[in-house]
Amino acid sequence: MSRSTAGPLFRLHKIPSPNSEPYICIAGPDRRLWFCESGASKIGRLDVDSGAIDEFAVPEPHAMPIGITPGSDGNLWFCAKKANKIGRVTPGGEIALFALPTSNAGPDGTLLGPDGNVWFSESEASAIGRITPQGDITEFKNGITPGSRPLSIAERDGALWFSEAAGNRIARITVDGAVTEFSIPSPDSQPRAMTAHCNGTLWFVQTGANSLGCMDRNGKITEHPVETPNSSLRGVCVAPDGDLWFTANAANKIGRMKPDGRVVGEYSIPAANAGARCICAWTDGRLFFTAFDAGLIGEVIPQ
């Protein structure tokens, strides 16, 4: 395996609330990094230039916010998993919650769809949901294998794609609710985070197979192993230069892979047992990741 000679620089930003357990992070419409604090039941916001962090309490304690995405209305939308609700937070930090029709649905991943609505996974209900900017919710279950545990969502070619962590599949759902499922070659690969590449491929982590999976436009899946065994891969994103960056939770590393599947670096996080989860790219080339176990937002500056 060829490696880059210079590793990235790391900066660590401590979240004020104890036991914050940050999960998903995303670039907001205000050029701030927004993230879910699943342990503290808060939504956090990081000024990526000054390092200042603001926190906004979710109205329900123990709501377990997880996935968050910008909406078409200028607000941020998130999944409150234990509260079984979808949340909306304004750039100023005002939060509203919308109850799901299905009890114990387990809302998890979320993404702004090509139709201007926010789409989300329901991991316990084996369904995909959609919420309008006005708060109207529709759930889609037909065509999704029961018990498949949908998680992360990505968008490609006007449709939504999602990982089925327990079903060992990648699935596609149109904005009209039609579902197609694709099997992954490795058994029990546990697909989780997904991202769309500018070259038209879809990438996803395979926690059980210790690999990154890549699906081309024809539905063919290729798997690319990482070097460190039993890394417990959790997050993946595409940087502005087209490289893939991923989090290796158990290995306590951040990795970098070329679009052809070559790993060019696996870099140790300068905080013990950080528990790296989500990672997202900034327009200037920096990467930000959530350190679930350490209560940190990590910043990666490629060299």
DSSP 12-48: EEE-SSTT--EEEEEE-TTS-EEEEETTTTEEEEE-T
Query: How does pLDDT run across 122-158, given as a tens digit for each residue?
Result: 999 999 999 999 999 999 999 999 999 999 999 999 9
pLDDT value for 6: 72
Q: Euclidean distance between the first and final Cα of the chain, in Å?
A: 19
- Give residue 157's identity as a one-letter amino acid code: D
- Give residue 110's identity as a one-letter amino acid code: T
Query: How does pLDDT run across 227-254, given as a tens digit for each residue?
Result: 999 999 999 999 999 999 999 999 999 9
- Is 47:31 a contact under the CB 8 Å cutoff? no
Q: What is the DSSP letter of 51?
A: -
**Tokens 């914050």 belong to which residue?**
20
Query: How does pLDDT run across 76-110, given as a tens digit for each residue?
Result: 999 999 999 999 999 999 999 999 999 999 999 99
- Domain 9-301, CATH number (from 2.130.10.10, 3.40.50.620, 2.60.120.560, 3.30.590.10): 2.130.10.10
CA pair distance 222, 95, nearest whole angstrom: 41
Query: How does pLDDT run across 10-34, given as a tens digit for each residue?
Result: 999 999 999 999 999 999 999 999 9
The 3-state DSSP class for residue 81 equals coil
Q: How many residues does the chain have?
A: 303
- Is 172:164 a contact under the CB 8 Å cutoff? no
**Tokens 């539905």 belong to which residue?**
219
Please report, for the chain, the start and end positions of each structural domain, with discontinuous segments joined by +.
Answer: 9-301
- Consecutive H or E run containing 174: none
